[in-house]
């Protein structure tokens, strides 16, 4: 059992969001659902809580009503091995009402913020040659979806 679990509050889309997220990542599944009973506060029989796993990590999603919404102060960061993975996740998470943000950040259709980060970015901004690291960082700052080739080209041009 995971000691700390991310808990996400939705108005009424917890089941839909969990099903969508689990379709995107390997080693992901819906673990269980709990439904509201006659005592409410939700509609009896509707989904109250969904426990799910993304890439082996446990999450809980609650249909708690419209009192709280997501914002960029909390995001889910995804370590991507390749440009293909970045492209696939970016496309899936921004479709149907998602919003692109700067520097690899986006909001999905449910309002959850994500950081889609290629592992190569970490390597480039940690380059021991300060000019190359700075060029990679400046390149990333001008992007929405991060493009590895553009980062590499910027670092290479800096020396």
* 79-129 pLDDT tens trace: 999 999 999 999 999 999 999 999 999 999 999 999 999 999 999 999 999
Whether residue 128 is found in the same domain as residue 143: yes
Q: What residues have CB less than 8 Å from 148, skipping those under 6 apart?
A: 83, 86, 118, 120, 121
CATH of the domain at 18: 3.30.720.100
Q: Give the three-state DSSP class for 7.
A: strand
pLDDT in tens, 9-57: 999 999 999 999 999 999 999 999 999 999 989 999 999 999 999 999 9
pLDDT of residue 153: 98
Q: What residues have CB less than 8 Å from 142, skipping those under 6 apart?
A: none
Whether residue 79 is found in the same domain as residue 38: no
Strand partners, 61: 8, 50
pLDDT of residue 154: 98
Domain end among 18, 41, 68: 68
Check whether 78 has a pLDDT greater than 90: yes
pLDDT of residue 40: 83
pTM listed for this prediction: 0.93
CATH of the domain at 102: 3.10.180.10
């Amino acid at each position: 059992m995971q000691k700390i679990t991310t808990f996400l509050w939705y108005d009424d889309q917890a089941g839909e969001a969990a099903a969508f997220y689990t379709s995107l990542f390997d080693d992901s599944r819906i673990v269980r659902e709990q439904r509201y009973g006659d005592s409410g506060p939700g509609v009896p029989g509707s989904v109250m809580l969904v426990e799910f796993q993304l890439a082996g990590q446990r999450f809980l999603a609650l249909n708690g009503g419209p009192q709280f919404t997501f914002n960029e102060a909390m995001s889910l960061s995804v370590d991507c091995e390749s440009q293909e993975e970045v492209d696939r996740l970016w496309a899936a998470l921004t479709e149907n009402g998602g919003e692109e943000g700067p520097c690899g950040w986006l909001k999905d259709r449910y309002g959850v913020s994500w950081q889609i980060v290629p592992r190569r970015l970490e390597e480039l901004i940690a380059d021991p040659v300060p000019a190359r690291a700075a060029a990679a960082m400046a390149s990333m700052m001008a992007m929405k979806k991060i493009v590895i080739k553009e980062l590499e080209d910027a670092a290479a041009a800096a020396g």
